[in-house]
Amino acid sequence: MKLMNCREGAAVIRGEEAVLFSEINARRGACLPDGLLSLIQSGSLDPLLDPLKDLRDVEGLPLSSVTPCLPYPVPPKIWCIGLNYKSHAEDINAVQPEEPGSFMKPASCLFQPGGDIVLPPPEVSADVDVECELGVIIGKRCRFVPAEHIQDVVFGYTTTLDLTALDVLARNTRYLTRAKSIDTFFSFGPVIVTADEVADIGSLEVVTEHNGAPWSRDFVRNMRHLPAELVRFHSDYFTLEPGDIISTGCPKGARIKAGDIAGGRIDGVGRIQARVTQGTRVPLY
């Protein structure tokens, strides 16, 4: 099942149409939640399955006519993984860590898919790159999850865009969180694909695009730490919550400047794009 949130509301994707939850509720007398995070937090897709079995009598909206939004605006946690592809480590002449090189990003750095990446003023950072990644969406509150039960706690997958201020990071690798957390330095969606839709996650190809052309690409199977292992590993350290995102890494980032179109795609999961604009120092307080 493919789900999305748009300005018109939460929806399930049917071919080239978005069928709004609100329309399904009206037609079927169902009680689908008004947001995707509420659906994920419910812990089960079962309430959604019966109302969605046959939607031929429920009118949909052309995907081209809806405005995609973040699947939900404030994920409980956003974890990202660095240097998870050998090709990325080789590209920047770095050594892959033995354990997942994870770091957190705040919800304040989110921007809408299809919206604007606003580059910081040059005196803050003048060297930014963007990476398309596979995002894992956690579906159940969990801790110490055994490897054989990972499938029980994953709700689905999405595409993410992760940005880095490379010059900030170059000054000191301990500045990683700062370099990754500037406003408009992360997005995800607009589509979430439920886990049952992905038969072989290793076969997914993650492609970063720069101005409409492929910039880097690699298969999930070539990750140092596969998505299931990332979930298992992180659940050892803290409780994972429904709606948490683990963004699993990128083969290689593309440096961007104002006027560019940044984005990426994962066939079978989704596509994400953004315009790149230049920000200025405007006080806000």
Tell which residue, 25, 276, 278, has the closest CA to residue 130: 276
Per DSSP, the chain holds a count of helices (H) and strands (E) of: 7, 17
Helix, strand, coil share (%) of the chain residues, nearest 5: 25, 35, 40
Q: Which residues contact 60 (CB under 8 A, 6 or more apart)?
A: 14, 17, 18, 19, 20, 23
pLDDT digits (tens, 9 = 90+) for 142-158: 999 999 999 999 999 99
Evaluate if residue 55 carries a pLDDT over 70: no
In tens, the pLDDT along 11-34 reads 999 889 999 989 888 887 777 888
- Rounded CA-CA distance 114/170 in Å is 29
Of 262 and 30, more confident: 262
Arithmetic mean of pLDDT over the chain: 91
Q: What are the φ and ψ backbone dihedral angles of 21, each rounded to 5 degrees?
A: -55, -40
pLDDT beyond 80 at 45? no
CATH superfamily of 78-278: Fumarylacetoacetase-like, C-terminal domain (3.90.850.10)
Confidence grade of residue 110 (pLDDT, cut at 50, 70, 90): very high
Residue 107, token pair as written in the block = 């919800």
Element (H, E) at 128: strand 128-138
Between these two residues, 1 and 260, which has the higher pLDDT value? 260
Q: Report yes or no: 100 and 230 within 8 Å, Cβ to Cβ.
A: yes
Flag whether pLDDT at 259 surpasses 70.
yes
Residues 39-47: what's their mean pLDDT? 78
Residues of the chain with CATH 3.90.850.10: 78-278
pLDDT of 98 reads 85
Give the mean pLDDT of 41-60. 71
Of the listed ranges 13-17, 30-34, 108-112, 270-274, the least confidently predicted one is 30-34
Q: What is the DSSP letter of 148?
A: G
Q: What percent of the chain is modeled with pLDDT above 70?
A: 93
Please check the confidence at residue 241 and state whether its pLDDT lies above 90. Answer: yes
